[in-house]
Amino acid sequence: MKMNQKKGQVTIFIIIAIALVIILSIIFLSRQNISITTSEAPIDSIKKCAKDATQEALSILTLQGGTINPQNYYLYNGNKIDYICYTEENFKNCLIQKPLLKQEIENEIKNYIAPKINSCIQAKKTELQNKGYTITSQEPEIQIEIFPNNILINLNQIELTITKSETQTFSNIKTDINSKLYDLIMISSSITNWESKYGDVEIINYMIYYPDLIIEKNPQEDGTKIYTLTNKKTQDKFIFASKSMTIPPGVI
């Protein structure tokens, strides 16, 4: 009889132990689900928005001399190609129009993507608030940095806080995209610096030093030259205009 009682007690302990394991597993999984729905998904959504907006900016400005809305440009195949080096005078070397080309392109990207990112953040906040979350954030300070192999997008001081059953806060959000734009900018700057000093440049020399690069130079009737730089491997492209040492028709 006592033996049966002991067996019954052991059985009860086993059942209790199994029940505790099940309960703890449910609690653990529930917490995992909370973390995913309240933090990872919104952050991923904002990162994707930042990447998409940056890619959109690049698809415009890389074909227009590094500018979203060109002011001093040459119309080439229906596109406004901004001058990086320019002069109106005949027999004169051009003057550099964008001495800090990389920084100017970074600012162009930042100014283009800022309203799009802010719109994405507001849309995500509204979506989560409708699901019962409490969301607070600040308008982020956007920083764009172009590096040799990528473009870094920083959303600083966003102070994003997401609360439901738990609270998670993100002071900054960072993401990046792969790009060879840095190399194309540096070589474009080198070409225009040469034109500002000597009036013309031999592009074959650049392609010898940079075998992954294709450079096309297309002279126009008014003396403008349209340069197209393409990375052979990635197909990243940069197009700009230059007008230097113009020779009037009939002189030669």
In tens digits, the chain (252 residues) has pLDDT values of 444 555 555 465 556 656 555 655 554 444 444 333 444 478 999 999 999 999 999 999 999 999 999 999 999 999 999 999 999 998 899 999 999 999 999 999 999 999 999 999 999 999 999 999 999 999 999 999 999 999 999 999 999 999 988 998 999 999 999 999 999 999 999 999 999 999 889 999 999 999 999 999 999 999 999 999 999 999 999 999 999 988 766 565
- What is the amino acid identity at position 197? K
- According to the model, what pLDDT value does residue 19 have? 57
Using CA atoms, how far apart are residues 210 and 42, in angstroms rounded to an integer?
A: 42
- According to the model, what pLDDT value does residue 32 have? 41
Q: What is the CA radius of gyration of the chain?
A: 29
- According to the model, what pLDDT value does residue 11 have? 60
- Cα dihedral: 225, 105, 69, 248 (round 10): -20
Helix axis angle, 41-61 to 101-129, nearest 10° = 140
- According to the model, what pLDDT value does residue 112 have? 98
CA distances from 172 to 141, 161, 176, 221, 234 (A): 9, 11, 14, 50, 30
H or E stretch covering 144: strand 141-146
Query: Bridge-partner residues for 243, per DSSP?
Result: 224
Query: Bridge-partner residues for 81, per DSSP?
Result: 74
Residues 6+ apart with CB under 8 A from 160: 42, 43, 121, 135, 136, 137, 169, 170, 173
Classify residue 17 by burial, with Cβ atoms within 10 Å: 0-12, 13-18, 19+: exposed
- According to the model, what pLDDT value does residue 28 have? 47
Using CA atoms, how far apart are residues 114 and 105, in angstroms rounded to an integer?
A: 14
- According to the model, what pLDDT value does residue 247 have? 72
Using CA atoms, how far apart are residues 210 and 56, in angstroms rounded to an integer?
A: 27
Using CA atoms, how far apart are residues 197 and 6, in angstroms rounded to an integer?
A: 99
Q: How many CB atoms lie within 10 A of CB 164?
A: 15
Instruction: Tell me the whole-structure pTM to 2 decimals.
Output: 0.82
66 and 238 in contact (C-beta within 8 Å)?
A: yes
- According to the model, what pLDDT value does residue 34 have? 38
Question: Which parts of the chain fold into alpha helices (H)?
Answer: 2-35, 41-61, 101-129, 181-198, 203-209
Using CA atoms, how far apart are residues 156 and 141, in angstroms rounded to an integer?
A: 5
Using CA atoms, how far apart are residues 195 and 98, in angstroms rounded to an integer?
A: 13
